[in-house]
Amino acid sequence: MTTILMLCAILLPLLGGALLPLVKDRRTLKGLVLALLIVESAAVTVLLFQPETELFLFSMTHSLRVSLRMDGISKLFLGVAAYGFLLAGIYAFSYLDHDERIGSFFRFFLLALGALAGMDLAGNLTTMYLFFELATLCSMPMVLHDRSRESIRAALKYLFYSVGGAFMALCAIFFLAQYCETLDFRPGGTLDAAAAAGHESLLRVVIFLGVVGFGAKAGMYPLHGWLPAAHPVAPAPASAVLSGIIAKAGVLTILRLVYYCVGPAFLAGTWVQYAWLGLALLTVFMGSMMAYREQAFKKRLAYSSVSQIAYVLTGLFLLNPAGLTGGLLHVIFHACVKMLLFMTAGSFIHNLGLHRVEELKAVGKAMPKTLWAFTFGALALVGIPPACGFISKWYLAEGGLSSGLPVFTWLVPVILLISALLTAGYLLPITIDGFFPGRELKSTPPRNREGGPLMWAPMLVLAALSLGLGLFSSGLVEALQELSASLF
């Protein structure tokens, strides 16, 4: 049963997306997409309770095998993808209700979900790389949805950054095939110590470049430029899944490469770890500072994503259980919060035509539910307890303090605190001005401009999760602590 569900989780959205152009009626199209997303989420829900298993599919050559693997990491990323796409899809029904290209959007929406499911369930580096490239090709058309000159440029930038980074990572895979016992994923890594003896310096250079290449999808400096270019032009539901879910493909590939192929012991304490941490913390600070200075609302959230995903990478690069636990927690929490924030931004744009931060004064009079949802998301992203962001940042800071790495022992928590202050500086004033605009306001938006239930219901769910996952996180934390400990 588990193997059948694994195949269904990948093939159902891929086949649905491929066959969607045959459906011409808009009402039927929406019903079919909703049914596919619900069935996909149900299949994933059952998979979350299945034991770990592996499934060999076929061999391209004697050494290049395509296989699937269900383990703790697969369950985490697959669950985030399935439930996130379900909520974003429901939101998109209202957001794109009068869009003439709604069929095209949902076609690639489903294809991207199938590609991500394949990545999440990949059993080795070969399979993961194939689905990584497919995810890029299937998600890129969502960026150029409106076919404007700006959207075409942004989509090409996203494509070039992602494919260029993937080629860097492919070089690392070529090398690892010679020095690993197998390219299959195994906790702790499969590096052959005898084969690697005498080649450690070369291997570390190659692995460093491979992680930087995969980091392009996650927006890690210096390959972060596609995020602030893509989000302002993409439809809000596309921005929600791009930031909350698709960008995490870079996190997943780095996690599998470092912890399941190379092994953290080979990299701990080397210049590679120091360089990765330096890049991640630079990305955290730079993204927060750029978001603080940016006045275009969706672009501000895009820079925020650059910073927040770098939190996850920081946890991975600390190479200790506490840091990894914090990083995995932030994968889930950031997905909930950032999808919520992009949905609220899309609602302000869709219902009131407001694109810039300074235009949002008194918006609470017209859209109080949306602004309250934004406020819950903002508090969670800042890390104010009891919202969920506080929990993940606590473990990230603990990972830094317990790392024993010179400079980074104190630099990690310091950068996290500075970033939290900047996050409060670029998010909370929107709430304050939205509810309390002050006397200088000359006009106010019209009242009662909330979107329909298909638009605000997913935001309500995500806002509840932003608080609930912080209040009731003990079971999740214990599960991720156990998973993190098993990789060392």
191 in helix, strand or coil? strand
Q: What pLDDT, on the 0 to 100 scale, is given for residue 437?
A: 79
Listed in sequence order, the residues at least 6 apart from 430 whose beta carbon sits closer than 8 Å to its beta carbon are 357, 360, 374, 378
DSSP states of 8-39 as a string? HHHHHHHHHHHHGGG---HHHHHHHHHHHHHH
Cα–Cα dist 171/427, whole Å: 40
67 in helix, strand or coil? strand
Sign of the dihedral defined by the CA atoms of residues 115, 480, 54, 1, in that order: negative
Give, as one character, the DSSP assignment of residue 57: E
- 448 exposed, middle or buried (CB, 10 Å; 0-12, 13-18, 19+)? exposed
Given a contact cutoff of 8 angstroms between Cβ atoms, the answer to whether 431 and 360 are in contact is no
131, two tokens: 């689905």
280, two tokens: 């991640």
Cα–Cα dist 224/203, whole Å: 25
Write the single-letter amino acid at 102.
I
pLDDT in tens, 419-445: 999 999 999 999 998 888 765 555 555
Write the single-letter amino acid at 435.
F
Cα–Cα dist 380/173, whole Å: 37
318, two tokens: 């600390």
365, two tokens: 């009079």
Q: What pLDDT, on the 0 to 100 scale, is given for residue 99?
A: 81
Return the H-helix or E-strand segment holding 106.
helix 102-120
Q: What pLDDT, on the 0 to 100 scale, is given for residue 440?
A: 53
Cα–Cα dist 400/317, whole Å: 10
254, two tokens: 């780095």
Cα–Cα dist 333/385, whole Å: 13
Measured torsion, CA atoms of residues 406, 410, 411, 417, in degrees rounded to the nearest 10: 170
* Phi, psi (deg, nearest 5) at residue 58: -165, 170
pLDDT in tens, 81-139: 999 999 999 999 989 888 888 889 999 999 999 999 999 999 999 999 999 999 999 99
Listed in sequence order, the residues at least 6 apart from 419 whose beta carbon sits closer than 8 Å to its beta carbon are 284, 285, 288, 307, 311
pLDDT in tens, 444-481: 555 667 778 888 899 999 999 999 998 998 899 999 99
Comparing 7-16, 110-119, 354-363, 385-394, the range with the smallest average pLDDT is 354-363
Task: With a cut of 90, say whether residue 313 has pLDDT above it.
Answer: yes
pTM score of the predicted model? 0.93
Task: With a cut of 70, say whether residue 16 has pLDDT above it.
Answer: yes
| In 219-320, alpha helices (H) | 226-230, 236-241, 248-255, 271-293, 297-317
Q: What pLDDT, on the 0 to 100 scale, is given for residue 439?
A: 59
How confident is the prediction for the chain on average, in pLDDT?
90
Radius of gyration of the chain (CA): 21
Q: What pLDDT, on the 0 to 100 scale, is given for residue 137?
A: 93
* Phi, psi (deg, nearest 5) at residue 59: -115, 130
Given a contact cutoff of 8 angstroms between Cβ atoms, the answer to whether 166 and 158 are in contact is no
Pick from 97, 422, 116: nearest CA to 284 = 422
Listed in sequence order, the residues at least 6 apart from 414 whose beta carbon sits closer than 8 Å to its beta carbon are none
Given a contact cutoff of 8 angstroms between Cβ atoms, the answer to whether 451 and 317 are in contact is no
Q: Can you give the residue ranges of every domain in the chain?
A: 282-488
Cα–Cα dist 72/189, whole Å: 16
